[in-house]
Amino acid sequence: MKLTIFNGSPRGSKGNSEILINWFKEGFLKERSGDVIIYYLKNQEKHPDMIETLKRSETVLLAFPLYTDAMPGIVKKFIDNLEDYQGSLSGKSLLFLVHSGFPEACHSRGVERYLKKLTAKLGADYLGTIVKGGSEGLRIMPPMMTRKPRLLINQIGERFAGTKSLDPGLLKKLASPERLSPFSRGMYRFMSLIGLSNFYWNGMLKKNGAYKNRFDAPYV
Ligand X SMILES: Cc1cc2nc3c(=O)[nH]c(=O)nc-3n(C[C@H](O)[C@H](O)[C@H](O)COP(=O)(O)O)c2cc1C
By CB under 6 A, name the binding residues for ligand X.
9-11, 15-17, 65-69, 99-102, 107, 135-136
User: Measured from the CB of residue 86, what is the shortest distance to ligand X in angstroms?
Assistant: 28
* Nearer to ligand X among residue 139 and residue 164 (C-beta): 139
User: Measured from the CB of residue 109, what is the shortest distance to ligand X in angstroms?
Assistant: 12
User: Measured from the CB of residue 66, what is the shortest distance to ligand X in angstroms?
Assistant: 4
Half-sphere exposure of 52 (CA within 13 A, CB side): 4
**By C-alpha distance, which of 11, 76, 16, 69 is closest to 40?**
11
* Nearer to ligand X among residue 48 and residue 137 (C-beta): 137
User: Measured from the CB of residue 15, what is the shortest distance to ligand X in angstroms?
Assistant: 3
For residue 215, give the 3-state DSSP assignment.
Answer: coil
Amino acid making up residue 141: M
* Nearer to ligand X among residue 102 and residue 126 (C-beta): 102
* Nearer to ligand X among residue 134 and residue 162 (C-beta): 134
**By C-alpha distance, which of 7, 50, 4 is closest to 28?**
4
**In Å, how far are 59, 77, 133, 152, 163 from 158, measured between CA atoms?**
15, 31, 21, 10, 9
